[in-house]
Amino acid sequence: MLRITDARTGEPVVAAPARRGLTRVQAHASGYDASSLRVLLVADVLVRTLELGGTPVWAVLTGERDQAELRAGATALGIHPFEDGRDLGAGVGEARILHVVGEAGPAPDGVRIAVAPVTGAVPADSAALRLALLSRPRTEPVGLDAAALGEAQDLLVRWRRAVAGWARRPSRPVPDEVRGRLRAAWEDDLDVPEVLRVLRGVEDAGPELPDGARFETYAYADRLLGLDLTRDLGAPA
């Protein structure tokens, strides 16, 4: 069960309604910059987490400026499309509304998920940017420098290559203990950095963990991460 910290109170709340009713995830982002893209990325991860738990989601983007640029940047980052929230009209019977907001952004009524700002220009490599932003807790500011982006790019290349290699071995199920740790991480206030730590542990595990299980673990976690970790399947070894 996903619990998320409400920025209004500092207290955790259950993100999904008890009866799995429709949940609206509303991202508030105006202007095209790395901070606004991080708001959309956090909203995307929230949507993915809810859907993995079986909750129907309506994803909405609210903002007055640079909407076309934001949507193009979101697409490049692998963020699922958001509907236009500038004219929501009457509600559609949502059981829960979750607002994802940046620092000094709007303060709507309802549960608010706060996202810290990003310093630095938006880089050309969107996949490395996604991983660099996912590697830090959403409440911590992020600086986009060459070192951070280079580290993210190196890790992404290594993991895609490893996943392609593991896929050549017989498939094995995700170990129950690993699956439990992954779900516990992303359901604990969207702790994506902990998800990445679990994957590093799987990568470094000894021969007792079959390569087929490593592959299935990474493919499963990528449903949340959206890093296209299986992209290199079938490429020459």
Q: Do 188 and 3 touch, CB atoms closer than 8 A? A: yes
Q: How confident is the model at residue 85 (pLDDT cuts 50, 70, 90)?
A: confident
Which residue is associated with the tokens 């490593």? 214
* Tens digit of each residue's pLDDT (9 = 90 or more) over 37-49: 999 999 999 999 9
Does pLDDT of 180 surpass 80?
yes
Q: Residue length, the chain?
A: 237
CATH code for the domain defined by 149-225: 1.20.120
- List the end-to-end C-alpha distance of the chain, in Å, as a whole number: 40
Distance of alpha carbon 70 from the chain centroid? 17
Which residue from 99, 92, 81, 86 is spatially nearest to 26, judged by alpha carbons? Answer: 99
pTM: 0.94
User: Cα-atom radius of gyration of the chain, to the nearest Å?
Assistant: 18
* Domain limits, CATH 1.20.120, in the chain: 149-225
88 contact partners, CB below 8 Å, separation of at least 6:
60
